[in-house]
Amino acid sequence: MGDKESATVPVAVLGSGNIGTDLMIKILRLSSTLQMAAMVGIDADSDGLARAKRLNVPTTAEGIDGLLQMPEFEGVRCIFDATSAKAHQRHAAIAAEHGKVMIDLTPAAIGPYVVPPVNLDALSDNDNVNMVTCGGQATIPIVAAVSRVASVAYAEIVASISSRSAGPGTRANIDEFTETTTAAICHVGGAKRGKAIIVLNPADPPIVMRDTVFCLIEGQLTVAETNAITASVTQMAAAVAEYVPGYQLKHDVQFERFVDVMIPALGRRMTGTKVVVLLQVRGAAHYLPDYAGNLDIMTSSALRTGERIAELRGWDRR
């Protein structure tokens, strides 16, 4: 558990479903910076609110309107939104009105996309940041790792998750998942063009999250360049694993050379090198099952974001 005696930054979590509850437990167990000031839901009978009460976290079942009436609200520095894209529109406006920083785990993407090891420090002054998607948090660091060595003409990611870990929100927002992740592959990952695919696997027992990253680089890479990409990817994977312990490379980075091949996504022929990276994300099982690595990486990334923003803004200084 984190050193809770030193936790000095009050935060609130909106959403008492799986993601919000897992995030609450992570804050309570792991953070020596963030302090749970309020757990907010709209279902008084939800397991998340019941758990919060048992853990002595102040709660309300009246949504953000209830949060505004809580005495703890004044001291809240940051609000994590684990509700829905539609609800986030209003939540963001209220947070801005009251001077609260918003970390958005929904597909609303009002603020800039943040992937902690890639661009968090540069965006820490923003008052609303978006955590992209689970697939984005898993794969965009790898695209960025390749991009910092060589120009990526096209990047494609395939995120395979257990259908059991895809709740109603995920299923209702498949289009938003692909659009948001695709945009972030370019804006954050550095690829000139991108594409995202999500696969819901019904296997029983459930599979853990698996991700495949393909990057196309124009021209043939030298041995020195392939070595530099391998080192960059390995370093980036270690950086992610610092806050998502179940994140790992499944195989060595692969390189496939090709000559004069038609690339439909680019609409032209190309000679170059395809870089292939295979990943696995196993959840920490703080609240969710360990196969739900897709949800775990979202809450872990949000926690890292909140802690780093608090550090960079000096909130954690007594």
Same-domain pairing of 226 and 240: yes
| Residue 318 included in any domain | no
What CATH number has the domain bearing residue 224? 3.30.360.10
Asked whether the predicted pLDDT for residue 316 surpasses 90, the reply is: no
Same-domain pairing of 207 and 238: yes
Average pLDDT, stretch 292-298? 96
Q: How many domains does the chain have?
A: 2
| Residue 156 included in any domain | yes
Q: Whose CA is closest to 1, among 35, 30, 32, 27? A: 30
Same-domain pairing of 88 and 166: no
- Per-residue pLDDT tens for 147-175? 999 999 999 999 999 999 987 767 877 88
Task: Catalogue the active-site residues.
Answer: 134
- Per-residue pLDDT tens for 58-106? 999 999 999 999 999 999 999 999 998 889 999 999 999 999 999 999 9
- Per-residue pLDDT tens for 270-290? 999 999 999 999 999 999 999
Same-domain pairing of 284 and 302: no
Q: Whose CA is closest to 218, among 186, 182, 193, 236? A: 193
So what's the pLDDT on residue 1? 42
Same-domain pairing of 68 and 141: no
Residues at the annotated binding site? 16-19, 165-173, 294
Same-domain pairing of 170 and 244: yes
Domain limits at 159?
134-290
So what's the pLDDT on residue 4? 55
Asked whether the predicted pLDDT for residue 52 surpasses 80, the reply is: yes
Rounded CA separation 18/27 (Å): 14
